[in-house]
């Protein structure tokens, strides 16, 4: 369905296209968690093709984050290593059909999302106060 014919899709597309890089990163974390949870739910329902598709979508997000991280800064190097680890674990979860690995990665991404959200709030407070 095209975004123009679906107001919700149009809203989502506009939200992504107009988001600043920090907000976009948070959206990517949220999407990754959504697809990881979807993969886990599909495994529980014995929907192996659905679990595979959802896992691949989560992997795509992690690969995007890995490719776009700034490795010139120490925090970027650390994030790069973490994204690489999460990607390898998602591949392993997909091969083994292991919901425990999916849960581990979902927890890591949720932790990152929480930290990122706090950083965005602090940045917003500093911008408002400064």
Residue 126 counted as domain residue: no
Domain count of the chain?
A: 1
Q: How far is it, in rounded angstroms, from Cα 112 to Cα 104?
A: 13
**For the ranges 10-14, 43-47, 73-77, 123-127, which has the lowest average pLDDT?**
10-14
**Residue 40 maps to which CATH number?**
1.20.120.340
Residue 15 lies in a domain: yes
Q: Which domain holds residue 115?
A: 3-119
Q: Looking up tokens 């490719």, which residue turns up?
A: 67
- Average pLDDT (21-50) is 96
**Is there a domain that residue 129 lies in?**
no
* Residue 1 confidence (pLDDT): 47
In a domain, 83, yes or no: yes
Q: Tokens 């296209």 appear where?
A: 17
Q: How many CA atoms lie within 13 A of 45 on its CB side?
A: 11
**17 within a domain of the structure (yes/no):** yes
| pLDDT, tens digit, 9 for 90 and up, residues 37-77 | 999 999 999 999 999 999 999 999 999 999 999 999 999 99
Distance CA 55, CA 93 (A): 8
User: What is the predicted pLDDT for the residue at 8?
Assistant: 60
pTM of the entire structure? 0.83
Residue 20 lies in a domain: yes
Question: Within a domain: residue 127?
Answer: no
Flag whether 31 is in a domain: yes
- Residue 11 in this model has a pLDDT that exceeds 70: no
- Tell me the C-alpha distance between 55 and 53, whole Å: 5
Q: Which residue has the higher pLDDT, 9 or 70?
A: 70
Q: Which two tokens stand for residue 98?
A: 């292991």
Residue 114 makes CB contacts below 8 A (sequence gap 6+) with none
């Amino acid at each position: 369905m095209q975004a123009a014919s679906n107001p919700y899709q149009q809203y989502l597309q506009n939200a992504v296209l107009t988001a600043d890089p920090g907000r976009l990163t948070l959206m990517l974390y949220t999407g990754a968690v959504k697809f990881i949870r979807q993969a886990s739910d599909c495994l529980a329902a014995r929907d192996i093709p659905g679990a595979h598709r959802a896992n691949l979508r989560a992997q795509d997000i992690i690969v995007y984050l890995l490719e776009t991280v700034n490795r010139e800064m120490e925090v970027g190097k650390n994030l790069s290593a973490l994204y690489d680890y999460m990607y390898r674990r998602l591949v392993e979860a997909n091969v083994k059909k292991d919901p425990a690995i999916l849960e581990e990665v979902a927890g890591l991404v949720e932790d990152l999302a929480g930290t990122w959200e706090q950083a965005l709030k602090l940045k917003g407070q500093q911008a408002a106060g400064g």
